[in-house]
Amino acid sequence: MPPADAVHIPILTGEILSLLELQPGDRWIDATVDGGGHAGAMLAATAPDGKLLGIDRDPELLQVAQARLAAEVDAGRAVLRLGNFRELGEIAGAAGFGPVSAVLFDLGVSSYHFDRSGRGFAFAHNEPLDMRFDGSGDSAADVLAQASLEELRHIFRDYGEERFAHRIAVGVTRRRESEPIRDSATLLDVIRAALPRNIRWQANRSAARIFQALRIAVNDEIEAVREAVPQAFELLAPGGRLAVLSFHSLEDRIIKQYLVSLAQSGQAKVLTKKPLRATEAEIDANPRAGSAKLRVCQKL
């Protein structure tokens, strides 16, 4: 089990608590419980008898949450479940949760995945290109071996917003003819070689985008968000609130458009006309907070 200090640092916790307006006794869902950072603060806000359903698809991170929230689990205030939030309705129903006062999604990737998981989410260390959160489906190495040139270009362009997506996709298809791309060092080398010579010195920037794109594709993250957020809204009681913390422009666009559609149909009130961002102080303490955007709505 990874240590508690190796997991995702919760972002915008104060703003989330303020906007969700949780009260003692409320029942709510953390659909991305991770190491339990947000969950712990929200359990404190709903003490002494509020109740949480926490979900995570990574069994190692769920173990961290289980340890961190052990007292609340033992007291029956926290129920933790392993699963993908795209099955949120089914998981909540089986756990007896719904309707609820709030649902939270923190779509950020855990710091543990980048720094200590050994699954190739980043290129700071040479690791096998796995990138799966739960071990299911194809790994990143499988995607690089099997995807067509056009599929790779789509992944790198749309999920990574990479300017040189086509050049890098071509580089992948050429390299895999001579050797499999199975580890992060090899992929970094392919990316660097594919870039124009005059910008290879900044290859790490392109690499960060390509690694992000592969992770999103491997875990089908965008479609999972599309499927999960409407289920979360259905689980809300009238007056309940939905909060989504996103870190990628595609995710944020999906959330924004969905909340606008709810407001236009009279089903919800959007509480964040513009997404809330982390303060400079929070970004200084946790640079990964820099891309975070928080959107919240209230069910009418």
Hey, what amino acid is at 278? A
List where CATH 3.40.50.150 sits in the chain: 4-112+221-299
pLDDT at residue 174 in the model? 98
Query: What one-character DSSP code corresponds to residue 159?
Result: I
Hey, what amino acid is at 98? G
Please state which of the ranges 46-50, 107-111, 239-243, 284-288 shows the lowest mean pLDDT.
Answer: 107-111
List where CATH 1.10.150.170 sits in the chain: 134-218
pLDDT at residue 288 in the model? 84
Beta bridge partners of 100: 236
pTM of the model: 0.94
CA–CA distance from 168 to each of 12, 230, 285 (Å)? Answer: 35, 35, 33
First to last CA, the chain: 41
Under a CB-based contact definition with an 8 Å cutoff, are residues 168 and 190 in contact? yes
CA–CA distance from 125 to each of 179, 212, 288 (Å)? Answer: 20, 16, 19
Under a CB-based contact definition with an 8 Å cutoff, are residues 1 and 67 in contact? yes
Give the residue among 36, 42, 28, 26 at the shortest CA–CA distance from 56: 36
pLDDT higher than threshold 90 for residue 270: yes
Q: Which residues of 1-10 are buried (b: 16+ CB within 10 A; e: fewer)?
A: ebeeebbbbb
3-state secondary structure of 29: strand
pLDDT at residue 6 in the model? 52
pLDDT higher than threshold 80 for residue 5: no
pLDDT band at 117 (very low <50, low <70, confident <90, very high): confident
- Label the pairing between strands 27-30 and 51-56: parallel
pLDDT at residue 112 in the model? 80
Specify the CATH number of the domain 4-112+221-299: 3.40.50.150
Specify the CATH number of the domain 134-218: 1.10.150.170
Burial of 245 (0-12, 13-18, 19+ CB in 10 A): buried
